[in-house]
Structure 1
Amino acid sequence: MSQQIKEGDKVPSGSLTSKGDLGIQNYDPAEIFAKGTHVLFSVPGAFTPTCSEKHLPGYVEHAEALKEAGVLSINCVAVNDAFVMKAWGESLGIGEKVRLLSDGNGAYNQIMGLSMDTGNFGGIRSKRYAMIITDGQVKGLFVEEDKSFEVSKAEYILEQLQK
């Protein structure tokens, strides 16, 4: 596994996808986060309990406050395919408030040193984390301890932005 990305680092180039009305769209995080302030948060998996009941809904609920704090885009990444991510967003009715990005094989989270191997439970997954990115640089990185949900939730990120 790569060394974990840290505050002050540039967001690495990579390939993430989403399923939109026009089919599969490809995104390079280094490009989409190059200008302005963005939030990227990651969940271990779509449709999992904490991710579906708290993590993603928290960002949807606080989307307006995050925008008022200067955030241009809110992005959720998971090691699921783009079709699963789209279905997950539709099942929760998130609309356009959060862009759901697929890291299909976990390669992008591995580049950032933020992946974990869950063995036969789900294989390579992403750790639960959030980051504040300004002009392509990681300004805040908040990685959860195992089985924890404190520093990557929307309310905590909003507090960090308002400091």
Structure 2
Amino acid sequence: MSIEIGQSIPEVTLKRIRDGVETVDTKALFDARKAVLFAVPGAFTPTCSEKHLPSFVNHFDDFRKRGIEVYCLSVNDPFVMQAWGKQQHVPDGMQMLADGNADFVKALGLEMDASGYGMGVRAKRFALYAEDGVVRQLFIEAPGEYKVSSAEHVLESI
């Protein structure tokens, strides 16, 4: 069962990419702030690289003007996330998060089996908006779709 609006973000550790790689707890990421987390099935994959991440890069300032942090998550290792962030010109302040073992997406109930594509367990494509660690909006894509988790749709909805 997936997380629902009104529930708290589960506490899990992730790898955050900045100048290097550091371990960060989701409590530290979400408590006492507004945040949008969007998750992609895989760094460097077509829709993720051509549409999903670019939508948040293009609208990053719109979120920040509203006082909202922006986090990008994928079930990839931190070095892949670092390379992808550089390749996509992710702005300073947008946090790239690696959930290498899918612990966080499993805790959210938003994992998917991408074994048919040789990718193992991955995150479903989704976005969520949280205030002080509590989910206020949740946008989960149907398999193979990219509609409700775009930066444009999230901005219109929050």
For the superposition of Structure 1 and Structure 2, which TM-score range results when normalised by the shorter chain?
over 0.9
Backbone CA RMSD of aligned residues: 1.1
Q: Secondary structure at the match of 1:90?
A: helix
Q: Which stretches in structure 2 are left out of the alignment for 5+ residues?
A: none
The answer (yes or no) to whether the contact 2:17–2:95 under 8 Å persists in 1 is no
2:7 is the counterpart of 1:9: yes
2:4 is the counterpart of 1:35: no
Q: CA deviation digits over 1:18-74, x for unaligned, max 9?
A: 2332x3211111221001210000000000011001101110100111122231x10
Q: CA deviation digits over 1:75-98, x for unaligned, max 9?
A: 000000000000001111113142
> What is the identity percentage for the equivalent residue pairs of Structure 1 and Structure 2?
41
Q: Once superposed, which parts of structure 1, at least 4 consecutive aligned residues long, lie more than 4 Å away?
A: none
- State the distance in 2 between where 1:19 and 1:152 align: 22
2:13 is the counterpart of 1:18: no
2:38 is the counterpart of 1:46: no
The residue identity in structure 2 corresponding to 1:114 is: L
Query: Which residue of 102, 111, 118 corresponds with 1:115?
Result: 111
Q: Secondary structure at the match of 1:93?
A: coil
The residue correspondences of 1:1-163 to structure 2 (distance < 5 A) are 3-21=1-19, 23-71=20-68, 73-121=69-117, 122-161=119-158
Q: Which stretches in structure 1 are left out of the alignment for 5+ residues?
A: none
Q: 1:96 to 1:112 in 2, by over 3 A?
A: same
- State the distance in 2 between where 1:160 and 1:70 align: 15
The residue identity in structure 1 corresponding to 2:74 is: A
- State the distance in 2 between where 1:53 and 1:13 align: 31
Give TM-score scaled by structure 2 length.
0.95
